[in-house]
Chain A
Amino acid sequence: MPTLPAIFRSKRVITLVASTAVLGTLLTGCTATTSTAGTSTSTPSSTSTSTAPTTTAAGSVVAATEAFTATLTSDQLASLNQEYTLENAEAWSNLPQAMSRNRVGLQLSELDDSQLTALGTLLQAVTGTTAGEGYDEIQQLLNADDYLADNGGGSDYGSGNYFIAFLGTPSDTGTWELQFGGHHFAVANTYTDGVLAGATPSFRGVEPYGTFEQDGETNAPLESEQVALAAVLASLSTDQLSSAELDGVYRDLVLTPGNDWAFPADNEGVQVGTLAADQKALVLAAIATYVNDINDADAATILAKYESELDETYVSYSGGSSLTEQDDYIRIDGPSVWIEFSMQRGIILSGSHPHSVWRDSTTDYGGTQQQ
């Protein structure tokens, strides 16, 4: 099993979204984007929001793709460059490659160290800088799969089994998608005329769940998501909890890979508009743990949209509200945003592990869907 160079093995930054202090700064940052732009200096995301227009960020993505493709052989380029079709866009999965086999693109095991470094630079350009999210999270998730490979999963697992694909030609005109994914992981950034038209479906899952060591690094990917989502449920009163509780058992996500454009017609759960301001802040903070996976400027734009729709957003859950045991499930369903987090039984290891998906009912696949 090839291991990735150091750039893919990050040191985990321990700060988590557990404290209200962090939540406060996130909220301040987001508020800043809608009111007095440029005044907030508390977080990287708020700073970049106020200074960098979205188009510049996308432009740098095209430049980053060119820097990466310059390192590749013609055979590798042939694998990397795929047609922009809905079929290719939908060819992602949460399953390990040995069971999915649908993925298109260039497999990471085909890349040498310098090519992997170039890929890392590209991924950094499209992902966020928040600790525990974005690029940091990607590195931790790949470490997790290397951990699985070393601890009973075997060669079907590990960071060499991930794929990078360009659907369409990266350009500031027309539509193309940057697709990166593998076991428990899918990034789907669709760019139209140089602007990020959609950052979803975005899948995150991890086994082992919790803190683990891999190649000398400490990792705990998706802990920030779990903590932020559990904080939402913990803040609800008994009455709010009972209106948030779903009927039935959720053993998996509802909008799993392949279940595209199948958003429920009716919202379920408790409406965020009925919650107190601090509870709303917790919901937005939880959403931010997903949105902040993409680059800071784009994340701020999307988060502002979700914030404007927050009152029309619903939170629902099933199982335990701690979100730690099998069948514990939470959903955030807004006019655009759709986030699900599901605790499931272990596959390679004992104990529970989460699957999670962030979708957007208007901009999944950049809005591309079957006519």
Chain B
Amino acid sequence: MRNSALAALTVLAGVAALILGVAAPASAHVLPTSTVVLEVHDDAMDAQLRIPVTDLVSASGINLGDETAADLAAHDSAVAAYIARHFAPESATAHLVPPDGADPRMFDLGYDVVVHRIVTHAVIVSVQNDWSGGVVESARGLGTIRRDTVTGEITPLTVDLGAASAWTGFTSLVSLGLSHIREGVDHQLFLLTLLLPAPLIVAAGRWAGPARPRTAVKRIASITIAFTIGHSVTLALGALGLPAPQPVVEALIAVSILIAAVHAVHPIFAGREAVVATAFGLVHGLAFSATLTGLHLSGGQLVLSLLGFNLGIELMQLIVVALVLPPLMVLARTRSYRPLRLAAACATGIAAVGWLAQRVGFANPIASAADGIEGVSVYLVVVLWISALTVVGYARLPLTRSGRSAAGRLTGSSIRYPWENAS
């Protein structure tokens, strides 16, 4: 199997410089196409070009020797000059900075790199990041530049980015935040595992019976708020440029889940959950920030994005807590909560170990399986609610039927109220 290297070229807005690199080898049967990916910013646009090196050589006449990354780098300026001759956006001046009065969202791309010479070549154009157009973290196709076989002419591609507004950018970041937690199984598991023992009291250094509902709710609220404060701080710092080595952050997140799982089995920081939640919130926030920095935003767009993204994260977090906590609090009063808590904590612990191994470089089936939990989490929530409602229904049954006090039956049921016994 022969490989064809691709050159990755970045035309930087306002800077007459090209960064050359060799991308991953393409499969030999992949169609020999170039791609142009636009990133739309406040006042300029980046275009990232990927061109099959052999086609670049044929079309430009530049001899790139063995067509390696080093050969490309050595001919950097010649390649840049060739591309500049064949990439002249109509309503924009140098490097996609729109001139005064030109519509920055609708223009002729003016691109015929390689196609001008290689008749059978095609260029696929898409927009990857367009904050105010609502395109974040996913690409939208804009069209293909190729020769019309009937006329023999290259049909110019008119880029139409559509309507744009700050509100569109903000709301797209809110939904990005929502999906980030919905798909971020590790973040959900950390929070839920931390909350697993929250409805319980500690007796003799072990998790004992259920806490009073008011106490449980307070504890849950404080853990959730503490986690939020933690990750909000580092999300902002990370997005503003605080360096965060993602492999380390990802590994630490796995560690945080493991510690939460151990705590759910046996209390190791009872009463200081909020402190721990804040500390690990700082770690999780650094992971969130990587998503934002990937969007290459600045100024007002960055501030609005921070706000919107964080809001989305909080909303989804609250939804998860609201979905899971009520049934947990009900089940915490039953004898079945102990095996449930231990099973959930152990499963989470195993997943955390799998993730940790994966994130320090040892791919394993446990991590892969854990990544797939997202698909079944809805069913877990349904099972929790059915169990909880069954317990409630069973407890209420005698009251609604006969009107007699349920106390006598409750002693025979699985529900215990230690504080009532004490009073």
Contact = CB atoms under 8 A, between A and B. Distances in A.
Given A152-B1, A345-B2, A263 B119 contact: no
A251 B149 contact: no
Interface stretch (A23-31, A198-206, A346-354): A346-354
B32 interface: yes
B413 to A, nearest CB: 59
A263 B32 contact: no
Nearest to A98: B29
A251 B121 contact: yes
B155 interface: no
Given A152-B1, A254-B149, A264-B149, A249 B29 contact: no
Contact of B149 (A96, A262, A318, A346): A262
Contacts of B121: 251
A99 B119 contact: no
27 contacts: A96-B29, A152-B1, A248-B117, A249-B59, A249-B117, A249-B118, A249-B119, A250-B118, A251-B58, A252-B120, A254-B119, A254-B120, A255-B149, A259-B149, A262-B149, A262-B150, A263-B150, A264-B149, A264-B150, A265-B152, A327-B58, A345-B2, A345-B54, A347-B1, A347-B29, A348-B28, A350-B2
A99 B29 contact: yes
Contacts of B1: 152, 347-348
A347 B120 CA distance: 18
Contacts of B28: 347-348
Given A250-B120, A265-B150, A268-B152, 12 more contacts: A95-B29, A249-B58, A250-B118, A251-B32, A251-B118, A252-B120, A254-B119, A254-B120, A263-B150, A318-B119, A347-B2, A347-B29
A216 to B, nearest CB: 27
A350 B58 CA distance: 19
B55 interface: yes
Majority secondary structure of chain A interface residues (helix, strand, loop or mixed)? loop
Assign chain A's interface to a size class.
Answer: 20 to 34
B109 to A, nearest CB: 20
Nearest to B31: A252
A66 to B, nearest CB: 38
Nearest to A318: B119
Interface string A287-321: 00000000000000000000000000000001000
Contacts of A99: 29
A228 B141 CA distance: 43
Given A95-B29, A264-B149, A251 B2 contact: no
A87 interface: no
Contacts of B55: 251
Assign chain B's interface to a size class.
Answer: 10 to 19
Nearest to B115: A248
Nearest to B55: A251
A264 B153 CA distance: 10
List 8 A-B pairs, minimum CB-CB distance, nearest first.
A252-B120, A248-B119, A262-B149, A249-B118, A347-B28, A251-B120, A249-B58, A265-B150
Interface string A234-267: 0000000000001011111111100100111110
B151 interface: yes
Contact of A253 (B2, B120, B150): B120
Interface in A316-371: 318, 327, 345-348, 350
Contacts of A252: 32, 120
Contacts of B59: 249
Contacts of B119: 246, 248-250, 254, 318
Given A249-B58, A251-B58, A350-B2, A265 B151 contact: yes
B32 to A, nearest CB: 6
Contacts of A96: 29
Nearest to B120: A252
A291 to B, nearest CB: 23
Given A95-B29, A99-B29, A345-B2, A248 B118 contact: yes
Contacts of A318: 119
A226 to B, nearest CB: 19
A121 to B, nearest CB: 33
Nearest to B121: A251
Nearest to A348: B1
Contacts of A346: 2
A267 to B, nearest CB: 11
Nearest to A326: B54
A254 B151 CA distance: 12
A251 B4 CA distance: 14
Interface string A264-276: 1110100000000
A265 B153 CA distance: 11
A160 to B, nearest CB: 19
Interface string A67-84: 000000000000000000
Contacts of A348: 1, 28
Contacts of A259: 149
Contacts of B32: 251-252
Contacts of B29: 95-96, 99, 347
A249 B119 CA distance: 6
Given A96-B29, A254-B120, A264 B152 contact: yes
B39 to A, nearest CB: 29
B57 to A, nearest CB: 10
Contacts of A152: 1
A266 B152 CA distance: 8
Contacts of A265: 150-152
A369 to B, nearest CB: 14
Interface string B42-72: 0000000000001100110000000000000
B101 to A, nearest CB: 37
Contacts of B118: 248-251
A246 B147 CA distance: 14
Contacts of B117: 248-249
A204 to B, nearest CB: 18
A246 B1 CA distance: 31
Interface in B192-214: none
B120 to A, nearest CB: 4
Contacts of A250: 118-120
Interface in B51-98: 54-55, 58-59
A201 B135 CA distance: 41
A278 to B, nearest CB: 30
Interface string B1-28: 1100000000000000000000000001
Contacts of B120: 249-254, 256
Which interface residue of B29, B54, B117 has the most chain A CB atoms within 10 A?
B29
